[in-house]
Structure 1
Amino acid sequence: MKIAVLAASGKQGRKLVEEAHNRGLDVTAFVRNEKKQVENVPNIVKDIFDLTYDDIKDFDVIIDAFGAWGDENVIQHQTSLKHLVYLLKGKPNRLLIVGGAGSLYVDSNRRVRLIDTPDFPESGKSLAASMAKAFNRLSTHKDVNWTYVSPSMIFDADGKRTGEYQLGSDELLKNADGKSYISYADYAVAMIDEAENGNHIKERITVGSK
């Protein structure tokens, strides 16, 4: 299996590359800035918006770890994913996306999303809304082998790797302490498990700590 991690120089991208590399998988890091290449693996320096199918055709799994912040930039979550979907329509490669938590439901009737709750921070609404729109558009594609992986509400860049997690579908998960939490490291464990096993093609899943 050959795995490509796009936007690999970010915090989550690096965790994904590290997890795949430590398992002995054939992983390549795609980075935009040649000064931010990832250690211990091959790197390809190319902006995600400049990718062609020839750049990624030899990879069984492409993991999209793209991130953009600031109200003027969050639209890129939609445009970057639209570009990748265009490249992979009708192709055998699998596309795994580092998604958002805002579009997860917080009730069993699946009517209220996390982004719609009163306590959702105003500062994160534009990002969450853009990621939700990107997911909604992605979910209509039957000709792309996608898997959208949402983290829990608290997504901890500095949290420990326990190697354990729980999986859900589109409802917000809580752990034994009643918290909706996952570390970047354990999220990477779950993502690379999905890359290896392919159990949720054309589905959205969510990851939480136990």
Structure 2
Amino acid sequence: MARIVVLGGTGYAGRHIVAEAVARGHAVIAVSRSEPTDPVAGAAYVQRSVLDGESVAATFDGADAVVWALSPRGDMADKVLGALKGVATSLTGTETRLGVIGGAGGSLVAPGGPRLFDQGFPEEYKAEAQVGIDSLAFLQSTDAGLDWFFVHPAEEFGPWAEGERTGHYRDGGDVIVRDAEGKSWISGADFAVAMVDEIEQGDHHRGRFTVGY
């Protein structure tokens, strides 16, 4: 059993990860600014802001993994990257892994590139995608004392494309995953399966990977 802290544990991706981890018997702490409207039975909930670095870092004691499931939206649009850097600093030199959820924009469309972001990416999503790209660049620049992994979800991922839990997904390395019809998507539940698999199996250390069907 692992001890897992999910930052942004009441959001879309975060709640799915909390639910999957609890279902597998892990001890899970979900950290968020708001109270959960639909709490996962068996998870512990803590109300704190990632902008309060010391307070959030206190939840990391004894954690095997900390999952960053926060989106750069609303009043957090310009604050997410700075907060991520603070969390990374807290975990550097420890045995706790940091798992970060990025966006599809930084995925490559073919081995060696280019990125999806550079291929007619929708203008309205570019600012959010750029934060994910900058977050990955930051992690790649960190000291070897930080054990991190970064996950790009498929192009269609969110409450508007909920889907079901199948227990299956494909790991595309750094290339976006598409099905036989060219569609790139994954349900929230199966994305969570991939995240918890990585926490349990540790196949990607200081690297990224993409997931989809």
SS in 2 for 1:204: strand
Q: Distance in 1 between matches of 2:53 and 2:38?
A: 17
* Mapping 1:180-195, distance limit 5 Å: 180-195=184-199
User: Matches of residues 64-75 of structure 1 in structure 2 within 5 Å?
Assistant: 64-70=68-74, 73-75=76-78
The CA deviation at 1:10 is: 0.6
Equivalent residue letter for 1:75: D
Q: Match for 2:165 among 148, 161, 183?
A: 161
* Contact 2:18–2:40 under 8 Å retained in 1: no
1:135 aligns with 2:139: no
After TM superposition, the structure 1 = structure 2 runs for residues 55-134 of structure 1, keeping only pairs within 5 Å, are: 55-70=59-74, 73-110=76-113, 112-118=114-120, 120-134=121-135
* Pairing of 1:173-184 with structure 2 (within 5 A): 173-184=177-188
Task: Work out the CA distance in 2 between the residues paired with 1:108 and 1:197.
Answer: 25
Output the amino acid matched with 2:154. S
| Structure 1 residue 109: Cα displacement | 2.8
Instruction: Give, in whole Å, the separation in 1 of the partners of 2:45 and 2:171.
Output: 31
Letter of the 2:212 counterpart? G
Are the equivalent residues in 2 in contact too, given 1:77–1:131 (CA < 8 A)?
A: no
Q: Say what the alpha-carbon RMSD is for the aligned residues.
A: 1.6
Rounded to whole Å, the distance in 2 between the matches of 1:50 and 1:37 is: 24
> Which sections of structure 2, spanning at least 5 residues, go unmatched?
none
Could you list the runs of 5+ residues in structure 1 that have no partner in the other structure? none
Structure 1 stretches of 4+ moved >4 Å = none
Do residues 21 (structure 1) and 22 (structure 2) align? yes
How high is the sequence identity, in percent, across the aligned residues? 34
Alignment CA distance shift 1:42-1:127 (3 Å): same
Tell me how many residue pairs correspond in the alignment: 206
